[in-house]
């Protein structure tokens, strides 16, 4: 039996290894929220609320999986694709951008790549044994409800022989 599900393993690994993301000034830490996809949260509330005021929202979606067997003698492996969406918005403060979406996307993308590399393979004797890699990054930009939203969907592939 697995100690924890892969989605939780990925989320916990990224939170532990992401490091500090800074705002445009390069000094002030950005507020980063890690949540499961499909929650009831409203973007405008999360980005522009006086109590929470997040700069980056990272959502973790449920997997799509498929089994593979490249050669008959090799056991079946299961490839699961997890989408992690990084959402940012421009945050103006008295006419000056305090937090620029495109800069935040760039910072988070490179921090995410380093974080995944830090725990890309399970430890010795872990159940299940896994290998993790980022297979694609797709960025979009749109205007939603009066705010400009930048999103990058990072697809992570989690491979294991655990059924």
CATH of the domain at 119: 3.30.2000
**Gap between the Cα atoms of 72 and 65, Å rounded:** 20
Q: What total of structural domains would you count in the chain?
A: 1
Report yes or no on 151 lying in a domain.
yes
Burial 16-30 (b: 16+ CB within 10 A, else e): eebeebbbbeeeeeb
Place of tokens 């892969």: 6
Burial of 10 (0-12, 13-18, 19+ CB in 10 A): buried
Report yes or no on 153 lying in a domain.
yes
Q: Which domain holds residue 82?
A: 6-160
With pLDDT > 90 as the criterion, what percentage of the chain qualifies? Answer: 42
Report yes or no on 1 lying in a domain.
no
Q: Which residue has the higher pLDDT, 31 or 53?
A: 31
Report yes or no on 30 lying in a domain.
yes
67-115, pLDDT tens digit by residue?
777 777 666 777 889 999 999 988 876 666 778 888 899 999 999 999 9
pTM of structure = 0.85
């Amino acid at each position: 039996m697995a100690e924890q599900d892969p989605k939780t393993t990925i989320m916990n690994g990224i939170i532990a290894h992401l490091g500090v993301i800074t705002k445009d000034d390069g000094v002030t830490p950005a507020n980063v929220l890690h949540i499961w996809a499909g929650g009831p949260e409203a973007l405008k509330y999360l980005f522009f609320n006086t109590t929470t005021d997040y700069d980056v929202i990272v959502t973790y979606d449920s997997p799509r999986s498929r089994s593979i067997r490249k050669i008959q003698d090799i056991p079946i492996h299961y490839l699961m694709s997890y989408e992690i969406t990084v959402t940012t918005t421009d945050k103006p403060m008295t006419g000056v951008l305090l937090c620029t979406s495109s800069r935040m996307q760039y910072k988070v993308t490179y921090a995410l790549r380093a974080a995944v590399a830090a725990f890309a393979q399970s430890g010795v004797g872990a159940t299940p044994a896994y290998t993790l890699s980022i297979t694609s990054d797709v960025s979009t930009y749109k205007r939603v409800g009066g705010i400009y939203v930048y999103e990058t969907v990072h697809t992570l592939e989690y491979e294991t022989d655990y059924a």
